[in-house]
Structure 1
Amino acid sequence: MASRARRKQQRWCTQPLTPLMEGPDPEMQEEGTKKESSWEVIREWFRLQKGGGLAVHGSSSFSLSLYGNIPAKTQDLRLLLGVLGCPLAPIPLATDPLRRLHIKDIPIETSSALYIIQQYLAATGCLKQEKEMKNMYTTGTMKMICCETEISTGKSVKSLGTRSGENGCFVLWQMSPGMWSLELVVGCNKVVAGSNGKIVWRHTPWLGTHAAKGPHRPLRRIIQGLDPKSTASLFAKAQCLGEKRIGEDDCFVLKVAADRAAVMERNEGPAEVIRHVLYGYFSQKSGLLIYLEDSHLTRVQSPGNDTVYWETTIGTSLWDYRDVDGVMIAHEGRTIATVFRFGEVSMQHSRTRMEELWVIDDVVFNVPGLSFDYFIPPADIFDVDNSP
């Protein structure tokens, strides 16, 4: 009864449930009946830039978007939250990241990666952890910055926009296995997302509630220095690509990629996910993860239109590792995301760069009283998931 009452309290919107896309919405709708869907804000952003409609941030008047009379500054923030608010990792977590394999049974690239992950777990203190970490509570602050947009027509390149930033904060709860809840507020906008271990969903004021397509995947914020065991699990089947220098650190580079069947599950209409790859850079000196980068490529091929590719690259630098109950947690970082739009034949392309500076204020493990009921999805998603 308590669970049923909680579901009723979480019924936030009545609009139909649509998939949470991780690429642009390819369908062009009629102007009079337009309704925003996932990543519509990104496509509209590029239309604004190509049309020269971006106003100077901080001025008394803002240009309006091509639909909905949305000020350009609001469009900036929606773009930031759509890309950097709550992105997911490319693959699910492995069930047993510490599995024992015979070296002769696996390629040298895989065995090297397993050794690096073991060193990472040792460096973070997870191997000598005395009591099991059943759940985690995290609070943090951030500043999101929308940087310049580069427009190329093949003959000339122009840059538009200014460094307009918004401050925000977030609260994150996590519980094994694979359950998490995130509330993130930037400016006057709030993004709520969560997972009950089976369904990943997101709610924004302008898109409503959406469910993620494809396999269940972890929140990227969790694997970027907050939960070393989840990070190790994600790289359990990684390959070691070699070495690379990041800043002052010589690093081992590990790579994991979503397989073809998994990315095909995330296709939607004419939008086809081509690849989603994650790279981890582990310091040879400390053994810690100091840089994380993933690249997501989608091809949109609508009838009667040119093929368009959308590539989103997110790179995160991690530092300020501190001991929290015997576990080394990254307390500060900088994330830079690039949304790149280009055609198959045309020389035209658009590139937008955005940034997030984040700081972890508090981390608490094993919060008393936290139960499965705290991760129940909103009622509309729950009903769709259990419908015959």
Structure 2
Amino acid sequence: MKQAAAKSSLRRLCPNIDREDGLETVLEIPIPEEMFTPMGSNVTLRWQNMLTWMKAQTEDKLSTPTVSARLNELRFLLYLVGSPLIPLQVQLGHSVRRPVRDCSIEASTAKYIVQQYIAATGGQPALNAVDSMCVLGQIKIVASDFHQTCETIEVKKTSEEMGGFVLLQKDPDLWCLEILVSGCKVSCGSNGKVSWRHSSNQQTPISRGAPRPLRRFLQGLDPRATANLFLDAACIGEKIINDEECFILKLETSPAIRDAQSGPNFEIIHHTIWGYFSQRSGLLVQFEDSRLLTMRTKEDNDIFWETSLESVIEDYRYVDGINVSHSGKTRVTVSRYGEQSANHKRELEERWKIEEVDFNVWGLNAESFLPPSNLGKT
């Protein structure tokens, strides 16, 4: 792995507490220093407390109301802001060029902007040379409670959760994310046929429709996937983002895709994506998407859920000739409303930092991306 910073703040090794001369164990998911430090007054005590804490996640304590509610809350945060999927299937072929003939002015302008983005992130040959990726990073999440929509919401800093993640990706359509935050672990991935998610104490169904990319890829980590996504966009105008004059590219999810991803008890009404590309550097500096779905309750009422995510993408640095983002912030707004439901709103914020990035990882194959066996055959 290549260091993305001079000094990493993620702990990767666990000492052998039983034998001082024993080999250290590589942690499955790196732990942020800030998460490790409060667990005791010295290193040995901290690791003992950490092991006890991790062991407790598999015992009967999970069934207690307090712990269960806490883990349900963490799982909600990780599903919503830590590991959301993009509704569109992104083609990861080596060509990211499309003809501009028979295109509208908005579509042809978008294709030109994408070509500038490809040049800014390393160029076509460098992007085409990548067939896999491994990323280590850390995240911090803060959240508000649900409030009436007429109230002003302030995200509480006292509710900050922190953790680390490992992300693997291989062409085409193979990826896996493992994320651990404050005792709750979530794994999700795609084996090339379906996308799936699974938490440490609850199974979740396999996603409907074709395999989809992780939203985190499009937050500055995978320029080729980002370019392929926005090749079908339209340029709808300009906007200043953090003192940067940007072009706005917009994508609408088609009815066929929305129908394929809807379920028996819910329907996706719309899912729209926007990308803001700097006119100065050509880089993607902000990524937004908004989804509205309706759910049918047991009382035969329709409840609407609207989720909007806005990611500011920062700290671009070159790794093996590819210009990737190493930090950023995502702000999420969740709104619930309906005729028979009180209107509520909640806001969340995630800050992420990438510690290491490596491309063309040796040894990755399809078996590295299999879903958990207890999710059933795919």
Q: What are the within-5 Å matches in structure 2 for residues 140-155 of structure 1? A: 140-152=137-149
What is the match of residue 264 of structure 1?
Answer: 259
Q: Indicate whether 1:120 and 2:114 are aligned.
A: no
Q: Indicate whether 1:69 and 2:65 are aligned.
A: yes
What is the match of residue 13 of structure 2?
Answer: none
Alpha carbons 2:336, 2:345 under 8 Å: kept: yes
Aligned AA for 1:225?
Answer: G
- Residues 360, 183 of structure 1: alpha-carbon distance in 2 compared, 3 angstrom cutoff: same
What is the match of residue 333 of structure 1?
Answer: 328
- Name the SS for the 2:144 alignment partner: strand
What is the match of residue 240 of structure 1?
Answer: 235
CA distance in 2, matches of 1:141, 1:73: 21
Q: What per-residue deviation string (whole Å, max 9, x for no partner) do you get for residues 298-352 of structure 1?
A: 0123464432210011111000000101110100000111110011x46941000
- Residues 172, 158 of structure 1: alpha-carbon distance in 2 compared, 3 angstrom cutoff: closer
TM-score norm. by structure 1 comes to: 0.75
What is the match of residue 37 of structure 1?
Answer: none
CA distance in 2, matches of 1:307, 1:382: 31
What is the match of residue 156 of structure 2?
Answer: 162
Query: Residue 150 of structure 1: CA displacement?
Result: 2.1
What is the match of residue 360 of structure 1?
Answer: 354
Match of 1:220 among 201, 215, 223: 215
Q: What per-residue deviation string (whole Å, max 9, x for no partner) do you get for residues 274-305 of structure 1?
A: 01111111011110001001111101234644
CA distance in 2, matches of 1:131, 1:313: 32
- Residues 68, 266 of structure 1: alpha-carbon distance in 2 compared, 3 angstrom cutoff: farther
CA distance in 1, matches of 2:148, 2:64: 24
User: Bigger CA drift: 241-250 or 316-325?
Assistant: 241-250
- Name the SS for the 1:351 alignment partner: strand
What is the match of residue 101 of structure 1?
Answer: 99
What is the match of residue 12 of structure 1?
Answer: none
Q: Indicate whether 1:351 and 2:348 are aligned.
A: no
Alpha carbons 2:270, 2:293 under 8 Å: kept: yes
Alpha carbons 1:94, 1:236 under 8 Å: kept: no
Unaligned runs of 5+ in 2: 1-62
Query: Residue 76 of structure 1: CA displacement?
Result: 3.5
TM-score norm. by structure 2 comes to: 0.77
- Name the SS for the 1:310 alignment partner: strand
- Name the SS for the 1:198 alignment partner: coil
CA distance in 2, matches of 1:106, 1:131: 25
What is the match of residue 184 of structure 1?
Answer: 179
- Residues 347, 305 of structure 1: alpha-carbon distance in 2 compared, 3 angstrom cutoff: closer
What is the match of residue 281 of structure 1?
Answer: 276
Q: What per-residue deviation string (whole Å, max 9, x for no partner) do you get for residues 122-177 of structure 1?
A: 0001324287112111000111111243214xxx6476983301110000111001
Match of 2:131 among 134, 147, 154: 134
- Name the SS for the 2:75 alignment partner: helix
Alpha carbons 2:142, 2:156 under 8 Å: kept: no
Query: Residue 78 of structure 1: CA displacement?
Result: 2.6
Query: Residue 214 of structure 1: CA displacement?
Result: 1.8
Aligned AA for 1:311?
Answer: E
- Residues 84, 195 of structure 1: alpha-carbon distance in 2 compared, 3 angstrom cutoff: same
